[in-house]
Structures are given as structure tokens and as C-alpha cells.
Structure 1
Amino acid sequence: MPADQHHDPFETRLAAALRDTGDGFHADVAALTAGGEVRGRRAQLLRRTAVLGGAAGIALAGLGGALLVPGGDSSDPRRSTAAAGPAASASAAPAASFSGDDLLRSLKELLPAPGEFGQESARGTGSGLPPYARLVYDDGGGAAAVGIGLRRVEPGSREVRELTRCPDRTLVDYDDCTSSRLPDGSLLMLFQGYEYPDRREDTKWWNAELVTAEGQHVSLSEWNAPAQKGAEVSRAEPPLSMEELKEVVTAGVWRRVVDAVPDRPGPSATGTPQAPPRTAPGESVGATLAELLPDGLTVVGRGGQESEYAYLVVDDGKGRSLVQINVQPDMSDVADQLYGDAETLPDGTLVTTRKGPGEKGAAGVVMWTADTMRPDGFRVVVTAFNTGAQHQDATRDAPALTVGQLREIALSPRWQALG
């Protein structure tokens, strides 16, 4: 897997993950073709929210689904009301709109004083794109990038659960993570990890994800460097403690900002809403993968997501080996990017296999992949590593499954019965 995925595979690397910021989608072909690292519609590498980087400086692609971009007219004549400070009551009436300056002012007021600020950038609620604010903050201990992004999500959805669920340690190396429900019904995840989980650089990434019972999503991130990537570490840790992150992310002003984002236009009166593609339950994907394993392998660990993705850790007596699978419907729109030199079977199924390196910071790790797509766009990708955790050093010379065995599993007709 690419080395800078912060959480589960096919999420946020989740390689530098594809950014869907509402300013445009740019496919990273190398990332798309590497070892089944694509999941979901439009072949996004979905990642938990990261607030600095990308075309607009903020990536807001949620796990397990496409970015929710609110509609709206950037020429909206409604008056921009100044954002309230940290002492403002959460029950106050929402502002008609918030400018980028309003968001920056609120963020500064919520950060511990004294502090110096620089490299400021923000977007308000009137542009039709998700609002955000980012800046470099120095409390005297070193410059640190801090950013916040805001949007709406569907309350109680799979996306909400994945946004606020701590990552699987088999897949991601991190220091600490807690997920809890607050007294008002909001879900809060506090995460302490690394910009590069393989530790090839010392940049730490601490993150707070808040989703309220009404679907207001607030994502706050900080680093121990003045930029998310490409800057030298300036301090031992990011400036805000977990308690301070919680205080900032739960401030009532952010909920009012989300409430001020214009609703997305609904389907036209004559249009027919398009039903989302049916997805395979993650539990069924994992169970089917286990049943299709060749003889001689013992399953010693397993996990995955609610749909499409699962993994097994297997051992043939020579050491642990991580095996991952992603089952994706309706992926025809990226077939040209993924299968340019692929084998075409008599029934039209595209097949490609690859052998390549795994994590850059994990010594000796290799990744073997079988990637298939049926004529209807149904994609199955199976990947195996020569380690039991993709961010850890190799524990054996080669994966426990051959490329031929991975190919056979990916081509099994049993997958289409799940999708």
C-alpha cells in the first residue's frame, strides 16, 4: 500500500491519497494501479479527512463514500456575519453566512494564547464548496500546521461510523486513539499518529473527528511541522493536547458554520434519482476469502470494513502473511486507467497481476496483486504481503500465496453472488 495512508486500506493513502476537494478530481494513475488501492466510485483512494494539502488546501473525502459537496451560489448577496468566539452559545441562531475571515478568526480565538499566526488560508460558506480554515500556529514551541474542515454527512450512516472509528492496528501504526459518544449524542474520535505511518519522516499527525447527531462533521488536524508534508519537523509534538483538540473541535461555532452551508440542489422534477450500487458486506467478503484460500494456510487474524473490503492474516508455518481483498461494483469508468495492458479473458474479464514493493519504510516488504474486472465493471482485487502487517518489516521471503493463487481467488464466480 502507499506509505502515507493514515487509516484503513483504500481509505486515506487514506500513496499520497487522491484529493477530492470539490475543486476538481485528478486521478493519480500510479496510485490507482497499485495493489488494489482503489475503492469506491470514481476510483478514489479514500482517506480520513486531512485538512492541509490538495488543490484547495483541504481534502474532505470521507471514508467509504464520495465527498459531499454542498451546492450554493458564490454570488449570494446575503450578509456575512462575523463568526462567534469560543464563548458564544451553541444555541445562538446560525449566521446567514460565514466568510473565510470569520472562520480564521474563530479558529485563532479557540487556540491557546499567546500564539503567533501565519500562512493563513480559508474558504467560507458561500462558495458552494466545503468551508475550511488553515494556518500555521506557533505557541513559542515551534511552528505547527493546524487546519479545520466542515461539512454535512448523513447521520447514522456507514460513513459516520468509519469517520469516528479507530483504525485497525494490523493495517496502521499509531500511538493512541479513542472513540466515544458525547453526552449530546455526538461521536468523537481523537487520533495520535503519523503523517507517514511507516515513520520514514518524523512528522506527527494528530486528528479530531466530530460528527453530531444532526450530521454536522467537523475535522480538526495538527502537525508538529509548519506543513503537512515537505517541511522539517519544528517541535517534538503538535501544539494541542488531546483535551485541547477536543475543546476546539466541539466549539459551538463550527456547528453553526455547517448549518450555514447551503443545501445541495435536489434531483430535478423530471430526473430519476440514481440508486447507489449494491455493495458486498465486509463480513461476507472476509468469510468468502477464507473459504477460497488454498490448503495449508491457517487464518490467525481477520478484519475489514462494513462493506467491500476485508483482510486475513494467514500462516503456512513459515510466518504470517497479510491478504487483502476489495470487491467493488460499477468500476467501469476507471477501467482504462487500471487495465491498459491487461489480459482479456474470453468472457471479456480483464486481468492483470503485479509484483512490487510494499511500504517504503518497512524493510523487505513485497506486495503481490491480482486485479480483475468483469465486463459489467465488477472489480475484485486480491493482494498479499510477506508480513502480517503491511507497515511492519518482512517476516518471510514471499507472501503465503502465489500470484497464480491470488488470480484464481479473484476470478472466482462466488464474488458476484455477494455484490
Structure 2
Amino acid sequence: MSGRVQTARENVFTGWRRVFGLIVWAGLSAVVLTGCDSSQSAARPSVSETASAQEMVRLLEASLPQGKTSGQRGEGVSTKPGTLPSAELVFQRGGRSAHVQVMLGRIPVPLPAEVSQCPDTAVHPYSRCTITTLPDGATLVQDQSPHQEKNPSGGKVLTARLIFDDGRQILVSQVADPQAKADSAVTALPLTLKQLTAVATSSTWEPVLNTVPTPPAGGSGGWQPTGKEISLVLEQLLPAGISHAQPGGTEGFGHLVVDDGHGKSLVAVNVQRWKPSDDGMAKLFAKGETLPDGTRLSIRKNPANRGDKGTIEWTVDTFRKDGIRIVVSALNAPAYALAPTRPDPALDIAELKKIALDPAWQRVTRR
């Protein structure tokens, strides 16, 4: 993280998408191909030793049900860092149109926990997601989320992710064609989630996966606490008489929805580790308070970044001498994309400060 100050809010929004990097509608350095009718792809294409962009597109077309395709483009297997074999096209069927994309890759092992997690409900409250372990041990994550969080009744993004224990992964996604007219085509997609999953789990991709270079081994996991660990500590530190529910999070981030009888409020904790001498942290806390034990402290009351209109966020940000940063925030809404349910967050600054400075956090940061 050196050289880049990433606040708790920024860390939340990069969460589950960070692992896949190019998850949905990445700008492909693509080869553009001519359109065709996928119903003509009767024979299953063979895969050369190193799949090309054209082969990726043909494989995707062969995996789809009958329909018309256009706007094909793809990326072949490459040793260039950040380049993943992929294909995308516009698929039309039954008067409905959508962009469909497949992306293949390998993740260093051990796998980050968020690889096989659903989108975090603190940021994606309208996500409808399931996780299934298949007979061969692979993990299947199926999700349906709004294309725009602030318009949950509008167009949807459907994704099917298949993750193998050795780091191989397949991501297939579908989103309404942005060129389609503003009618039922925006909300009605040509492929069901079941059909999209059939593309992701097709044996068609196995030869390509076998040609994707194996990345260097990942670290041993390190110190970063899980969302569950953070949420458990947060539960214990809540003021008496306040109810809580919906624990969640990902590595380094945990949250609860609390209710004091006057409306639901999201309370979130972000745990980070920095170099004690990091210049970014020095600038961030330059105007903050320094406590007797050397901990830096900053307090903010701002409109919630990416929150609904009227959503506010109160934050107590702390940076310890050992480089551990504990950020505790509360909203006047149950999630970042939801409308406010109350005038102010359920916890005040004094209560947030008490949580952030509690010694209990040492249990999840001493590793």
C-alpha cells in the first residue's frame, strides 16, 4: 500500500472486485471480429496450444444457445502481465439483447478468501448471491445484482464464477446491451442465470485454462483479519441496549447493522497495516490529534461517498505507532446504497472513538 492512501470507504468498494481486476466490461485490447449467427456453430472448435482471440470468441459462441451474435472481440492467452484470455459479444435472442463476456485466469495460491465470497451487502445490498461446492470440489458463485445500485429495479448484471482449488477461475457475466432502446430489453436479459452458469461450467474452457501461465505463489495469508473476525469483535464493543444483525465483510473489513429503536444504521470497521513511517499516513493525520500513547486520531463527518442522497457518514480514524490503522464508521442508513432511515447514525462520535481505541482489536492484529 506504500505511496497510496486508501481510506476505509475506498477499500470497501474495491473489495470483491479487486481479486478479479477486470471482472465486468474490462476494456479489452481486443481483436474485433465480424458478426455471425451462433446457431451456425454446430461443431465444437478445437483449441490450439495457445488459444488466440479468435479461438476465445469461437469457444464462447459455441457455449451459447441459439441466437444472433455481433460485436465480437477477444483476447488470447498471453504472458503479458495483466492480460487474461477473454471474449465478449452482444447476444440477441427473443427480442432481448445483452453483452456477454467470459474471462479465464489463474490466481496465486493460497487463494484470497474473497475469491469465493458473494458481494458485500454493505456495498451491494441488492445482490442475490449463492455459493455452491460442486462434486469436483470447485466453488460456484452465482450472483444477480443491479447494474446501478441506485436503480435496483432497473437492468441487472448476472455473473457466474467458477473457482478451482488450484487457482484456476472462469468468470462469465451478462449485462443489458447499453445500445438497446429503453424498453423491456433493459431489464429482460436473453440468458438466464442457469444458462450463464452452463457456460461457466462447460468443459469447453478446460484446454484454455491449461495454457494459462501459472502465477507466482502467493503469500501465506498474513495477518489480515477476516470480516467475520472483525464483526465478532465489533459485536462485543457495541454500547449496551443496542441490537445488531447482518454481520458481514471481507478481509480487513467487517460490519454490522445496528438499531437503537430509531432506525437501522450500518457500523463498519476497516483494519489495515501500514509502515509506521508511511508518508501517506503522515499527511492523512497531519491535522489530527495525537494521543498520549502515540496513536494518531482523526474525526470526520461527511456525506457518504457513493451513498444515497442524504446519507451521512461519521468516522473515527486511528493510526497506531506500530502501523495498525483502525477505522470505525457509522451511517444513517443500513448500507451505502440505501436511503437514510434516520437523521444521524446510531452511534455518536464518542461511541465510535471508544470502539476504535479499544484494546480488543489487538486480538485480530497480533499475527
Selected match of 1:311 from 225, 245, 255: 255
User: Following the alignment from structure 1 to structure 2, what is the Cα–Cα distance between the partners of residues 46 and 241?
Assistant: 23
CA RMSD after TM alignment: 3.7
User: Following the alignment from structure 2 to structure 1, what is the Cα–Cα distance between the partners of residues 219 and 128?
Assistant: 40
Normalised by the length of structure 1, the TM-score is 0.70
Q: Give the counterpart letter for 1:172 in structure 2.
A: H
Say if 2:319 is the partner of 1:403.
Answer: no
User: Following the alignment from structure 1 to structure 2, what is the Cα–Cα distance between the partners of residues 326 and 212?
Assistant: 29
Q: Give the counterpart letter for 2:239 in structure 1.
A: P
Say if 2:179 is the partner of 1:179.
Answer: no
The 5-angstrom pairing of residues 11-410 of structure 1 reads: 32-33=6-7, 35-38=8-11, 45-47=15-17, 49=20, 51-54=23-26, 56=28, 95-118=48-71, 120-140=73-93, 141-153=95-107, 157-159=111-113, 162-167=114-119, 169=121, 172-174=124-126, 176-199=128-151, 202-226=154-178, 235-265=186-216, 276-295=221-240, 297-305=241-249, 307-330=251-274, 335-336=280-281, 339=284, 341-345=286-290, 347-358=293-304, 362-410=308-356
User: Following the alignment from structure 1 to structure 2, what is the Cα–Cα distance between the partners of residues 124 and 313?
Assistant: 44
SS in structure 2 at match of 1:387: coil
Unaligned 5+ runs, structure 1: 1-24, 59-84, 267-272
Answer 1 or 2: which has greater helix percent.
2
SS in structure 2 at match of 1:254: helix
Compute the displacement of 1:287 (Å): 2.8
Normalised by the length of structure 2, the TM-score is 0.79
Unaligned 5+ runs, structure 2: 31-40
Q: Give the counterpart letter for 1:114 in structure 2.
A: G
Percent identity, aligned pairs only?
Answer: 29
CA spacing shift, 1:45–1:344, aligned 2, 3 Å: farther
CA spacing shift, 1:301–1:54, aligned 2, 3 Å: same
CA spacing shift, 1:342–1:292, aligned 2, 3 Å: farther
User: Following the alignment from structure 1 to structure 2, what is the Cα–Cα distance between the partners of residues 265 and 171?
Assistant: 31
Answer 1 or 2: which has greater strand percent.
2
User: Following the alignment from structure 1 to structure 2, what is the Cα–Cα distance between the partners of residues 370 and 197?
Assistant: 26
User: Following the alignment from structure 1 to structure 2, what is the Cα–Cα distance between the partners of residues 331 and 109?
Assistant: 50
Residues 129 and 142, structure 2, Cα contact 8 Å, conserved in 1: yes
User: Following the alignment from structure 2 to structure 1, what is the Cα–Cα distance between the partners of residues 222 and 274?
Assistant: 7
User: Following the alignment from structure 1 to structure 2, what is the Cα–Cα distance between the partners of residues 293 and 37?
Assistant: 24
